[in-house]
Amino acid sequence: MSAEQLLTHVNKLPTVPKVVHELMTSFQEEDVETARIAGLIETDPVISAKVLRMANSAYFHRSRSIGSISDAVMHLGFERVRNLVVGCGLVGSMQTPPGMDKPTFWRHAVYTAVASRELARLGSESGPSEEVEPELAFAAGIIYPVGELLMRWAQPMELFKLDGAEPHCTPARAEAERSQLGFDFASTSALLAEHWHFPDELTAGLRAAGDPDNADPFSALGAIVAVGSVLAAASVIRMEPPVNGYTLNRVGIRIDQVWSLPPINELSNGLENMLLES
C-alpha cells in the first residue's frame, strides 16, 4: 500500500470541522478582522465553549475574565485563538484506533506543538536563518502526528510491530516506518493536510518533518517540528532527548539554548488535558 492509497481509508477519520478548515486558510491572509473571525468561531458552539474555558485557564495567566470569543481574540491574539480552535477541532473530531492510548497520543501532539513554538521563537531571535512564525509552528506541531491515526486504521498490525522500536511520531519513528512500509506518518499527515486544503507552507513543512535534513528543498518549519517532536517524546516517556544539533544549526538555534528551555510539560501547563475535556 502506498501513502496515497491510505486516503481511501480517510472515511475512518471524521471530517475536520468547517470552522477549523476556514481558520487554517487564514494563515495566508495578511489582514484578518477580529469580528469576522469571532463570528466564524461562534458558529460552532462546542468549540466556542471549550475555547472560552481554555482562554480563562492558568495556561494563559490571565488577570481578568474573558467572557466572549471576541474578547478572547482581542486579548490573546488571533493566532493563539486560531490554534486553540484547530486543537479543539482535531482532538474532538478524530477517533483513535483500537489499541491506541488517546490521552498519550494527544499529549505528544500538544507537547510537539508547544516545543515547536518555543523553538521557532529561539530561531527568530538567533540570526539570519529562515524565520518561522511561532504560531504556525504550533499549528504544524499539533497536526504532525495525525497521519499516524490514518495509518493505524489502514495497517494496524504493521504499525503494532514497530511500537517497541521507536517513540511515536518522531523522525526516528518516521525512518522506521519508511524502512518497513515505504512511507511515514509525517508524509501521511501532509497528504491529509492537502486533502483538507490547508496552506501550502504548512503542508510542505509537515512533509519535510519526517526527515528534515534530507528534505529538498529544506524546510525550516519541518526541521523545527521534527526537533519539537523529539523534545515532546522525551517529555512523555521521561528520557534524555536525542536532539540533532545539525538540524538545529540549520535553523539558527544552538543546542545550549534548547537545554535552557523549561520542561515541555511545564510549558504546556495542562493544555493537553483541557483539549481532551468533553
pTM of the model: 0.88
Provide the percentage of residues in the chain whose pLDDT is more than 70.
88
- Per-residue pLDDT averaged across 132-153, rounded? 90
Q: What are phi and psi of 188, to 5 degrees?
A: -70, -40
Where is pLDDT greater, at 167 or 144?
Answer: 144
- Per-residue pLDDT averaged across 94-104, rounded? 83
78-93 and 34-41 are packed helices; what angle lies between their axes, rounded to 10 degrees? Answer: 20
* 90 pLDDT tier (thresholds 50, 70, 90): confident
B/e letters for 186-222, b = 16+ CB within 10 Å, e = fewer, are bbbbbbbbbebebbebbbbbbbbbbbbeebeeebbbb
Which phi-psi region, left, alpha or beta, contains residue 269 (left: φ > 0; alpha: ψ -120 to 50)? left
